[in-house]
Chain A
Amino acid sequence: MLMLIKKITILLLLGLSSVSAKGNLMSGLTDIVDQAEEKKADDKKVLNFAFKQRMRTQWIARDALLVAMDFNRSFYQKEMLENANAFNKNFIGLIGSEKDIEKAKKIDKDFGQKIKDVNDTWIKFYDSVKKLSKDAKEKEALKFIGENNIKLLDDIAYIFTHFIASYQSTNKLEASMAHIKSMLFTQVGKPRMYINMLVKEKLLVKQNINKKENQKDLEKSVKNMDRLMKALKDGDKELELNGTEDRKILEKLNISQKIWEEVKALINKKKLTSKEWSILITKNEDFIKAHTEVVKLTRASNDN
């Protein structure tokens, strides 16, 4: 009898220890994966900053023009400076990592010099924004912003592309899967940049600044925006987009598409009344809010 109890006890203990060993294994593995995920989330944050920087270059330039034409001046002076401060903070963070820069240098040995050049441009750009936020008549500052916002946009895209490439895995499958995602994430946020660019170009035309050239750019931007919005839904081989069938994303895309149609109707009008200008600016901001929902859902989804 005693032997039997002893045997049962041993069996029970063995059973319990194997249950706890398995539990430990499961929770240990989960912890490691969670830890890796946190690190990945940090990388995603860096990329998200870069996406927002792209949009901000055009937002600042748009606001600078609104300030110059005395459109709700103090509000846009404040907004312009806030966007420039946010750009500055993220820019310092983006270029401040020696480790990341060293990685990117492996792809382009001139990367370090390029960072310095971009930084020089940004310091002058930021300074111009500060001046214009204090004095709307600072013509030199406005001119500098007008002449350099596209350069700054391209520079940010350059830095961004190199950072993404430096993150790329040496594992073929992982790199290939990451490429599809990075193309999608790059493109899905672009309409927020385009909408600011479009309104900025419309303002340049209105103020007779390089009118012919800016009108041409404006028409090109409308076409780009139309194509991109369609591509996000239906796909576009050249843009490396597969489109989406995710119902929630499609619903949100339809909302931003509707606002875009309203913006486009105003952009295509030759002359706008001051009331229409107000509507255009409001719709511009509505679009950014609405499209941010598309960006969020796309980033969370795996609709490959």
Chain B
Amino acid sequence: MKSRYIIGSILLSTVLVVGGVNITKDLESIVIKEDNKNIKIQRIQDTKHRLTSSFTKTSRECPPFCIQPMNIGKVKTIGEIELLKYIKEMQKDDSDMLLIDARTRDWYREGSIPTTINLPFTMLKKGSKYLKKILKLLGAKEIDGKWNFDKVPTMIIFSNGIWDEQATEEIKTLVSLGCPEDKILYYRGGMQNWNILGLTVK
């Protein structure tokens, strides 16, 4: 019911451009607010546009850059349409969701999805001196050496995409620390798919 309402509001907030490069046949773009600025998330409109970045590569060394499974335990995997829906939902004041880029900062600096917060997997790993601080900020509570994630927002986690383990690693760490799998969503396509679809990068 809730998702129907959200999709409905997305539809109302956009005007479809006929013949344009739309997101779906019913959706041209979504407009969100970040740092008090309106950002329009849409696809690049130039139909001749080609990627020239490293996202055009087919072959990277594996390890470390290996193909990732579709599912990580019971964590739900999502695609772009669902992600856009959640990004829109996150705009609401009472939203309890967080979009997390799990890549190291140097990747993040080259561009990420609007509204994302960068939380590198290298910092959210067991043994990291930042781990406790981060978990507490997220809202987790340590009780008798165990972490309680009840007050942690739902986290949508992604990295470079299907060939990149950084998001997988972060998800596995969170789950091993006691985070319920239904508190996490995995955007497997990551920056690779986001870029290949020409979606707005911040």
CA distance A172 to B118 in the complex (A): 21
Given contacts A19-B93, A32-B137, contact A302 B63 (CB under 8 A): no
Most chain-B CB neighbours within 10 Å: which of A37, A173, A180? A173
CA distance A36 to B134 in the complex (A): 12
Closest to A26 in B: B117
| Chain A residues in 8 Å Cβ range of B65 | 304
8 nearest A-B pairs in the assembled complex, by CB-CB distance:
A176-B64, A15-B93, A28-B137, A177-B64, A303-B54, A176-B63, A37-B105, A19-B93
Q: Does A238 reach chain B (CB closer than 8 Å)?
A: no
Q: Does A268 reach chain B (CB closer than 8 Å)?
A: no
Binding site for A on B (CB under 8 A): 52, 54, 56-57, 60-61, 63-65, 93-95, 98, 104-107, 110, 117-123, 125, 127, 130, 133-134, 137-139, 153, 165-166, 169
A32 near B54: Cβ-Cβ < 8 Å: no
Contact of B122 among A14, A18, A171, A246 (CB under 8 A): A171
B117 near A173: Cβ-Cβ < 8 Å: no
Interface size on A, residues (CB 8 A): 33
Most chain-B CB neighbours within 10 Å: which of A170, A171, A245, A300? A171
Least distance between A235 CB and chain B CB atoms (Å): 11
Q: A25-B98, A245-B54 are in contact. List 6 more A-B contacts (CB 8 A).
A: A25-B137, A36-B123, A173-B166, A173-B169, A247-B52, A300-B106
Q: Does A42 reach chain B (CB closer than 8 Å)?
A: no
Binding site for B on A (CB under 8 A): 14-16, 18-19, 22, 25-26, 28-30, 32-33, 36-37, 40, 169-174, 176-177, 180, 242, 245-247, 300, 302-304
| Chain B residues in 8 Å Cβ range of A174 | 121-122, 125
Given contacts A32-B133, A37-B105, A171-B122, contact A18 B52 (CB under 8 A): no
A–B Cβ pairs within 8 angstroms, 19 of them: A18-B93, A22-B95, A25-B138, A32-B134, A33-B105, A33-B120, A36-B120, A40-B105, A169-B122, A171-B122, A171-B169, A173-B121, A173-B166, A174-B121, A174-B122, A176-B63, A246-B54, A247-B52, A304-B54
